[in-house]
Amino acid sequence: MASRSKSSHRWLQEHFSDPFVKKAKAEGLRSRAAYKLEELVARDKLLRPGMVVVDLGAAPGGWSQWVRQAMGDSGRVIASDILEMPTLAGVEFLHGDFREDDVAAALEQMLGNDRVDLVLSDMAPNMSGVDAVDQARAMHLSELAMEFADQHLKTGGDFLIKLFQGVGFDAYVKELRGRYNKVSIRKPEASRKRSNEVYALAQGKKAVK
């Protein structure tokens, strides 16, 4: 228990001294993760007015909040998470487990006839601390996100997803390369250096043959 307490104290110390945490608080953003997205979007000019954007694994809402601010009043931002998320003006939210068929169906219903321009996925499982289990769970969520993009992203659309390096990572990136014209692996400055998370940016969804 003592080692756990030391670890928790170290995490809290790191969290509250984090410049991105301080910046998010000062700017009224819900999470430091917004700055990861800001860097990725700015570098590749992913956002345009009037887009339809779906944010998977959205809570507490940092990405959706930033996208809505960046697009102004135009377009749609649809967010989903297994956790509750306080209301954000201009963001449609679906509360539920994306792994469940009824939640996926509800998200499809929310979209109606709209095709999606940009799919964002910052989904991650609850970590058990057992690497093999955590990686398998993370890759399962990643597969579901890719399937969603397959079904709902318009031809030429973009898909940005958080991945954890480990078993299944290389095969997943290979799958993306078969579906999109360009795939890049990025680690934003706001990502903690010790984390094995990276972001795969898949641009230009290929037409289904």
Annotated binding site for S-adenosyl-L-methionine: 61, 63, 81, 97, 122
Average pLDDT over residues 6-34: 52
Domain boundaries, the chain: 2-205
**166 Cβ neighbours under 8 A, 6+ residues apart:** 131, 135, 138, 196
Please tell me which residue in 162, 174, 187, 193 is annotated as part of the active site.
162
Average pLDDT over residues 158-164: 96
Average pLDDT over residues 51-67: 94
- Amino acid 190: pLDDT: 63
Q: At 12, is the pLDDT very low, low, confident or very high (cuts 50, 70, 90)?
A: very low
- Amino acid 54: pLDDT: 98
Average pLDDT over residues 66-92: 94
Element (H, E) at 93: strand 91-95
Q: Which of 73-82, 118-127, 186-195 has the highest mean pLDDT?
A: 73-82
- Amino acid 26: pLDDT: 52
Report the C-alpha gap between 163 and 12 in whole angstroms.
24
- Amino acid 188: pLDDT: 80
Confidence check: pLDDT of 180 > 70: yes
Average pLDDT over residues 185-192: 78
C-alpha torsion 46→47→51→55, nearest 10: 80
pLDDT tens for residues 22-44?
Answer: 555 555 554 566 778 888 888 88
Confidence check: pLDDT of 1 > 50: no
> Which residues partner with 203 through β-bridges?
182
- Amino acid 15: pLDDT: 47
Confidence check: pLDDT of 127 > 90: no
Report the C-alpha gap between 108 and 119 in whole angstroms.
13
Burial class, 201, CB count within 10 angstroms (exposed 0-12 / middle 13-18 / buried 19+) = buried
CATH class of 2-205: alpha beta
> Which residues partner with 77 through β-bridges?
53, 91
Q: Is 162 a catalytic residue?
A: yes
Percent of the chain with pLDDT over 70: 81
